Amino acid sequence: MATSVSSKQGKVKAAIVGGGVVGLTCAIALQRLGVPVELFEAAAHFGEIGAGVAIGPNAARILQSLGILDEICAKTGEPGLTMRSFLFVSGQEGHELLYEVQIAVSAYEQYPEEEGSNSLGAHRASLLDALVQFLDPNTAHFHKKCISLSTSERDPQRTTIHFADGTSYEADVVIGADGIHSSVRAAMIGEETSRPVFSNTVCYRGLFPYETAKAAGLKTDFTSGRPVIFTGRDKHLVVFGVRNATLINVVAFSADHNRPIGSTSLPSEGPWVKTVSQEEMMQEYAGWGSDVMILLKCIEKPSKWFIHVVHPPLDSYVKGDVALVGDAAHGMLPHMGAGAGQGIEDAYVLAQLLGQPQTTASNIETVLQAYDRVRRPRAQMVWDGSVRAGEIYDGYGEHGLSAEGVTEDLGRLWDPVWYHNLDDDLQSAVKWLRETSAFRQD
């Protein structure tokens, strides 16, 4: 593959490794800012595994600012931002309502146009398809599995990406958006310390027509747009509708909270995702309430996921002219429905910094440091909150699984995630770049 040589002034030339939701969002944001970018995907085409994905208000605002939210809703079969805040329900028979997540008054003051949580629950593959239509197709390259990075022999300020097919590509900045298995992260910090570890949590996933569950006697309503979390000791289920509530997405979790994250290793040759029998899944939740068992019975061929996370946290999301975004940087537990949102935030902030008029190949390393300064503390806060949320759902909160206990422990857990002003972060990053003289003072 031919490589282009950039000048030290003018727009930097970026290369993104990984064509998932975060990589595509980053590419779209860069293209809309006029930053040259090429995207490299290991697979033969764009595609996602998994069923439903939650896009919280923070990420929805980014998609809106990029001018792509309406088309995404249309493509994913959603009438708009119809997903509201969570309902917590006992997983035991009777399914007592334990807690309704409330929206902080301050959120209405900061974002007066919003009602409820203004989130999007979408089919993951449909979301990816929606994003693809906004990408310049000439910038996408497939069958490009990154195997290593090196300093360019022609220009020591550039990085060369080496692919499994023997080709390579040079860029002013390399962005690793290649997920929890990230080869860019491994190249950046070393294979032995790459840090994807088993979280001691598994989940069973399934997607099926809502009518199927109603015909089987399901009583819980999923037409209101409110995801339901069925709670219980060591286990919980997250259930919400997608495609305008015509389909039900179920993610059923089971965790060992008595072992520290990373203390248990899976066989190296074993898959992280596999199809298992319905009987195995049903046995895991034996004794739970009727609606839980109906939902699980509707999943004919459940997939079992061994959830891995990036742990311990990285010392930095950047090294030289290489930056990590999304799960490659901070793969986290999914218990706040915030992992995709944090990746979208990463993509937006990084694109905005790379698109600054004063960003050049000469100061790119400092610009990436500014990205790391604002993104790493925030993403780690959400990472920690996701661990805490899972503990509360599974009965390990300080006040237990009663309605009063869940209410006390959850509190306002989502407010700092959903209602965070990224413009303040960008202003802070630019201010720091001026203080370091990477950017000139206005």
Is 233 a catalytic site residue?
no
Global confidence as pTM = 0.93
Distance of CA 184 to the CA centre of its chain: 17
* Residue-level pLDDT at 7: 38
pLDDT in 10s for each residue of the chain, 442 residues:
333 333 345 689 999 999 999 999 999 999 999 999 999 999 999 987 666 788 899 999 999 999 999 999 898 888 788 777 789 999 999 999 999 887 554 444 555 555 545 788 887 888 999 999 999 999 999 999 999 999 999 999 999 999 999 999 999 999 999 999 999 999 999 877 778 999 999 999 999 999 999 999 999 999 888 889 999 999 999 999 888 889 999 999 999 999 999 998 887 767 899 999 999 999 999 999 999 999 999 999 999 999 999 999 999 999 999 999 999 999 999 999 999 999 999 999 999 999 999 999 999 999 999 999 999 999 999 999 999 999 999 999 999 999 999 999 998 899 999 989 999 999 999 999 999 999 998 7
* Residue-level pLDDT at 408: 94
Distance of CA 106 to the CA centre of its chain: 25
Which amino acid makes up residue 125? A
CB 191 within 8 A of CB 37: no
| C-alpha torsion 179→185→190→193, nearest 10 | -50
Calpha distance 442→436 (Å, rounded): 14
* Residue-level pLDDT at 8: 46
Catalytic residue among 205, 226, 243, 375: 205
Residue 252 pairs in a beta bridge with: 204, 237
CB 149 within 8 A of CB 188: yes
CB 426 within 8 A of CB 356: no
* Residue-level pLDDT at 239: 95
Helix, strand, coil percentages in the chain from 3-state DSSP, rounded to 5: 35, 20, 45
14-83+118-195+311-436: which CATH topology? Answer: FAD/NAD(P)-binding domain (3.50.50)
CATH architecture of 197-309: 2-Layer Sandwich (3.30)
Q: HSE on the CB side for 346, CA within 13 Å?
A: 33
Domain regions of the chain by residue span = 14-83+118-195+311-436, 197-309
Residue 148 pairs in a beta bridge with: 162
**Nearest Cα residue to 341 out of 122, 182, 130:** 122
